[in-house]
Amino acid sequence: MKILDRQTKYYDIVGDNLEMLKINIEPQFKVFAEAGKMIYTRGNVVMESRMPEKEGTGLLGKVMGAGKRALAGESLLFTYYEGNGQAGFAGDFPGRILPIGLSNQTMLAQKDAFIAAIGEIDISIAMQKKIGGALFGGEGLIVEKITGDGVVFIHAGGDLVTFELDAGESMKIDTGSVVAWEDSVSYDVQMAGSVKSAIFGGEGIFLTTLTGPGTIVIQTMTLSKLRRQVGFSAGKSESGGIGSMAKTLGGAGAAMGAGGILGSLFGKDDD
């Protein structure tokens, strides 16, 4: 799991607090996206909705996979893009888009984080391994399991910040602020210190604990915080409105090369 550049000859992430992802559609690479994320297409691009399961798993496997996604509140189908041209995608609320490279690897992400992918990427649903994480961790009982060889684009609120954890190294993070993590990272939920700190500290009763080794991505603005702030500001005058909430964005990524599809995408210098 590697954080990639925001701009290459295959894709470009543009915008400010409502970013848009532009992907060049070419016959040699599979491109698909979450239903409802497409903003535009240009050129000779054909769209087709299909069940989000690996090819060759059979009709029953595809139906079961789609059913699990429906129970989790996800869309039944993905939209696949073929031909020659370009397609644009965006998230549903203010935030950032992050490109992540997988080279036959697995990562986990919060629900609704996935936007689009290039390459042989499989998106499925995983259950939280520990009941504490499911009930109190902010990500819920079900998370997205993303596996394969290619580039994955995720979206979350505010800024997205990446950390590399060494083996045995831990971080305590506000519940709901964890966006994505490698499957090598251990995920747990623990009490936030003393009862007094939990009640009066403003951070809630529980904190998410992630233990390395591996890469993690956190967000600076959760959707629940955004909703709460919008509701709080609704009764104020326009001078004290929510315009200042848009000042949350910045970020960067680092390029990498790997084998397989990901290597063919980034093995040569961009034109």
pLDDT score for 233: 58
Domains of the chain, each with CATH number or no CATH = 2-233 (3.60.160.10)
- pLDDT score, position 242: 43
pTM summary value: 0.76
Q: According to the model, what pLDDT value does residue 257 have? A: 47
Judge whether 96 and 46 are in contact, CB under 8 Å.
no
Pick from 114, 103, 104: nearest CA to 75: 114
What is the reported pLDDT for 183?
92
What is the pLDDT at residue 180?
94
User: Given this model, what pLDDT does residue 160 score?
Assistant: 93
Nearest CA to 249 among 164, 155, 172, 115? 155
Which residues of the chain are under the pLDDT cut of 50? Answer: 55-56, 131, 133-138, 237, 240-257
pLDDT of residue 56: 46
The per-residue pLDDT for 248 is 42
Peptide bond into 52 cis (omega under 30): no
Q: Residue 246 has what pLDDT?
A: 44
